[in-house]
Amino acid sequence: MKTVHTQAIILKRLNFGEADRILTVITKDHGKMSFLAKSVRKSKSKLAGGLELFSVSNVSFIDGKSELKTIVSTQLVRHYGKIVENMQTTMLAYDFLKLIDQHTQDQCEEQFFDLLDSGLQALTDHHEYPTVVSGWFCSQLLGLIGSGVNLERQANGKEFSETDTYQFSFDDMGFFVHPSGQFAPRHIKFLRLLSKVSKPSNLLQVAQANALASDIKPLLQHALLLAKD
């Protein structure tokens, strides 16, 4: 049996037996996988230091016939430790792990790993803008799973107007004009930015970015919930 090397981010972990742990991870080049980390909960474990939550790790594992692969060595590459210094960023980081787990299959593309890595990095670097980071992450994830919001035209095919207000149709994944709509053209423009920029840092100079992100947060969350089903 050969040994395979990859980079991984832990999505969830489960204690197993007296000192082992079963890990669900997203990898750089092997999709989503399940690992067995033997004796990792022992105080002198050589694996433990390279298997932290909110981290990117180099992982070597034995590629046997079982879907549960055994880890033989680990090395910490990046640890986003500042995330846990703030309750809101900690909860968002757990949300990111959960969302990636919910919306990926075993044979998923590298972009899901990259998105999670960038999301954890952004929560570390821009902890004062957690809602903006979360909005960017959710919008990017919707795009990756093919459930992105229609932002080019209204749900009926008409062009957007600078004077109308809009409501959102989850059936059509698009906006429609409504006299008392909760969304203005500025929200739609911000959603376009969320879906297009490669890093959330590009959004921080947008006027009222936090307020706009808060307004559209329920829309993005519900869209992801529907996509999961």
Residues 39 and 91 in one domain: no
Least confident of 32-36, 44-48, 57-61: 44-48
Terminal Cα-to-Cα distance of the chain (whole angstroms) = 38
**Listed residues 38, 63, 81: the one ending a domain:** 81
Residues 94 and 48 in one domain: no
207-219: average pLDDT: 96
Q: Is the pLDDT of residue 126 over 90?
A: yes
Residues 62 and 92 in one domain: no
In the 8-state DSSP scheme, what is residue 149?
-
H runs (alpha helix) in the chain: 87-102, 110-125, 130-144, 185-196, 209-228
38-55: average pLDDT: 90
Residues 32 and 87 in one domain: no
CA atoms within 13 A on the CB side of 156: 7
**Listed residues 51, 81, 111: the one ending a domain:** 81
For 192, the token pair is 């376009």
For 26, the token pair is 């997203």
Q: Which domain holds residue 160?
A: 82-228
Tell the burial category of 48 from Cβ atoms under 10 Å away from its Cβ (0-12, 13-18, 19+): middle
Residues 105 and 127 in one domain: yes
Whether the predicted model's global pTM rises above the 0.75 cut: yes
Q: Which sign does the torsion angle of CA 90, 215, 115, 143 carry?
A: positive
The answer to whether the beta carbons of residues 102 and 185 sit under 8 Å apart is no
Residues 42 and 103 in one domain: no
**Listed residues 66, 81, 96: the one ending a domain:** 81
The answer to whether the beta carbons of residues 166 and 180 sit under 8 Å apart is no
- pLDDT of res. 195: 95
